[in-house]
Amino acid sequence: MMRNGKIEIEASGATGSGRALAGIIAGADIVKNEITAHAMAAQKVVPGVQTILEIGGQDSKIIILRNGVVYDFAMNTVCAAGTGSFLDRQAARLGVPIEEFGELALKSATPVRSAGRCAVFAETDMIHKQQSGHRMEDIVCGLCEALVRNYLNNLAKGKEIREPVVFQGGVAANRGIAAAFEKALGMKIIIPENHDVMGAYGAALLARQARLSAKSFKSRFTGFDVVNRAFATKTTECDGCANCCEVVHLFSDGSVVARWGDRCGKWSSMTKNGNFLKEAASYTL
């Protein structure tokens, strides 16, 4: 909110694959997983949404909602063939600006079928299609359809996709991918205006909800000047039990400010209580 001409942060949230680290550095009041954050944002923008398709730069996910509750979900964090980074790489190799990739795909009347289950095989197949003389728009459209086919066969397999269907993530800006989804599903795809930051929007909504539901609330937000502070991490393996947890220690200005990664809370609880071990000061960064 604005107060005396200045932005005042009343609550903050963190989400995403780096939410633990980002949440500690920023002083987030809530730290939520991507599934919860995306579901929260989608329901705010499209009330009654039942299916969320999300493709980002590094991973992709599908979220099934029923009666406003997350009923099922699946994530792909391993294979690059179903992510935005794969499209970026192929666009660069083809010499097509990624901003024009989707529009070019829409010009195709006879898309070629490309291998889409593996990023390596897909790239090899595209090279073969180029050498065979196929038009660029047909190759690009075939690539979009291959990515969607891979997504539906892996993430959506066995799941009932119902409308309304919302497409989120940075790849939602690619009209070729959106058109391929509509063609494969036979359904209209809704793309929110702020599709590329829906996870952050959901985290903000959850932080606001936490603030409004608390009787007394004081945000832990550390301030925008945190970008000028130096942070570093170090990992150690705990030998306290058979789990052998990999514990991450976060340092700032020579002091341990957070720890996480342990299953039992032995290390992370020290940070919360401010009771840092003496040997922490001897760690070499």
Round to whole Å and give the CA distance between 15 and 18.
7
Give residues with Cβ within 8 angstroms of 127, minimum separation 6. Answer: none
Angle at 185 between CA 113 and CA 60, to 5 degrees: 80
Q: How confident is the model at residue 82 (pLDDT cuts 50, 70, 90)?
A: low
Round to whole Å and give the CA distance between 150 and 82.
7
Write out the two tokens for 15.
């989400």
* 72 and 186 assigned to the same domain: yes
Write out the two tokens for 111.
């898309």
The pLDDT value recorded for residue 153 is: 86
* 187 and 56 assigned to the same domain: yes
* 71 and 183 assigned to the same domain: yes
Q: Of 133, 164, 191, which one is at a domain's C-terminal end? A: 191
Average pLDDT over residues 74-89: 73
The pLDDT value recorded for residue 223 is: 87
Q: Of 140, 173, 191, which one is at a domain's C-terminal end? A: 191
The pLDDT value recorded for residue 100 is: 86
* 170 and 115 assigned to the same domain: yes
The pLDDT value recorded for residue 118 is: 62
Q: Does 102 map to a domain?
A: yes
Range of the domain at 67: 51-191
The pLDDT value recorded for residue 274 is: 43
* 147 and 278 assigned to the same domain: no
Q: Peptide bond before 47: cis, by omega within 30 degrees of 0?
A: no
Question: Of the ranges 21-25, 84-88, 97-101, 274-278, which one carries the lowest mean pLDDT score?
Answer: 274-278
Q: Does 59 map to a domain?
A: yes
Could you tell me the CA-to-CA distances from 51 to 39, 45, 154, 193 in Å, in that order? 9, 13, 16, 17
* 145 and 242 assigned to the same domain: no
* 171 and 254 assigned to the same domain: no
pLDDT tens for 219-240 read 889 888 888 888 888 999 999 8
Round to whole Å and give the CA distance between 207 and 14.
9
Task: Summarize the chain as % helix, strand, coil (round to 5).
Answer: 45, 20, 35
Burial class (CB in 10 A: 0-12, 13-18, 19+), 120: exposed
Q: Which residues pair with 168 in a beta bridge?
A: 54
* 175 and 264 assigned to the same domain: no
Question: Of the ranges 1-10, 83-92, 165-174, 200-209, which one carries the lowest mean pLDDT score?
Answer: 1-10
Q: Does 104 map to a domain?
A: yes
Neighbours of 73 (CB within 10 A): 20
pTM > 0.75: yes or no = yes
User: DSSP state, 26?
Assistant: H
Q: How confident is the model at residue 275 (pLDDT cuts 50, 70, 90)?
A: very low
Average pLDDT over residues 59-84: 84
Burial class (CB in 10 A: 0-12, 13-18, 19+), 85: middle
What is the residue-averaged pLDDT of the chain?
84
Q: Does 141 map to a domain?
A: yes
* 261 and 174 assigned to the same domain: no
The pLDDT value recorded for residue 30 is: 92
Q: Does 217 map to a domain?
A: no
Round to whole Å and give the CA distance between 112 and 104.
14
Residue 37 has pLDDT above 80, yes or no: yes
Positive or negative, the Cα torsion across 86, 92, 98, 101?
negative
Average pLDDT over residues 69-86: 78
Q: Which residues pair with 209 in a beta bridge?
A: none
Q: Does 268 map to a domain?
A: yes
The total domain count for the chain is: 2
* 241 and 179 assigned to the same domain: no
Q: How confident is the model at residue 5 (pLDDT cuts 50, 70, 90)?
A: low
Q: Does 206 map to a domain?
A: no
Residue 276 has pLDDT above 80, yes or no: no
Q: How confident is the model at residue 154 (pLDDT cuts 50, 70, 90)?
A: confident
Q: What is the CATH number of the domain that holds 103?
A: 3.30.420.40
* 74 and 181 assigned to the same domain: yes
Q: Does 45 map to a domain?
A: no
* 246 and 182 assigned to the same domain: no
Average pLDDT over residues 56-70: 90
